[in-house]
Amino acid sequence: MHELSIAQSIVDSVREHAAGHVGRRVLRVGVRVGEISGVNADALEFCFGMTVKDTDLDGVGLDLERVAVRYRCLDCAHEFPPVDFRAVCPSCRSEMASMIAGEELALSYLELE
């Protein structure tokens, strides 16, 4: 199950960040999960709970923020969501766009005591 290794790497980076705040307990962790990151949010939540169980991070809340796919037009810099899976700029009709959101899987915040 690949969500388990993702949960493990989230826990690793939480510890890394928390190490800079000695003596403060982590209460909540925010993670941005892109719509097409290939991660199953429910499975990730489950695996995260399993990974932190009986550790110092047991009971830490996990806040998964689903991030929709967005594109930025390379011609006019307009940002827009795809329509019918196609990235055509609604502002100038250009078909040259790069994806700027939707694939990410990243820590967004740590709430400390």
Beta carbons within 8 Å of 110's beta carbon, 6+ residues apart: 14, 17, 18, 26, 28, 29, 30
From the CB of 83, what's the least distance to Zn ion, in Å?
A: 13
Cα(32)–Cα(42) distance, integer angstroms: 14
Would you count residue 92 as binding Zn ion (CB under 5 A)? yes
Contacting residue, 35, 94, 104, 105, with Zn ion by CB under 5 A: 94
Stretch 67-86: interaction string toward Zn ion, x if CB under 5 A: ------x-xx-x--------
Would you count residue 96 as binding Zn ion (CB under 5 A)? no
Do the Cβ atoms of 73 and 63 come closer than 8 Å? no
What 3-state class would DSSP assign to 12?
helix
Contacting residue, 5, 9, 55, 91, with Zn ion by CB under 5 A: 91
Interface residues with Zn ion (CB under 5 A) are 73, 75-76, 78, 89, 91-92, 94
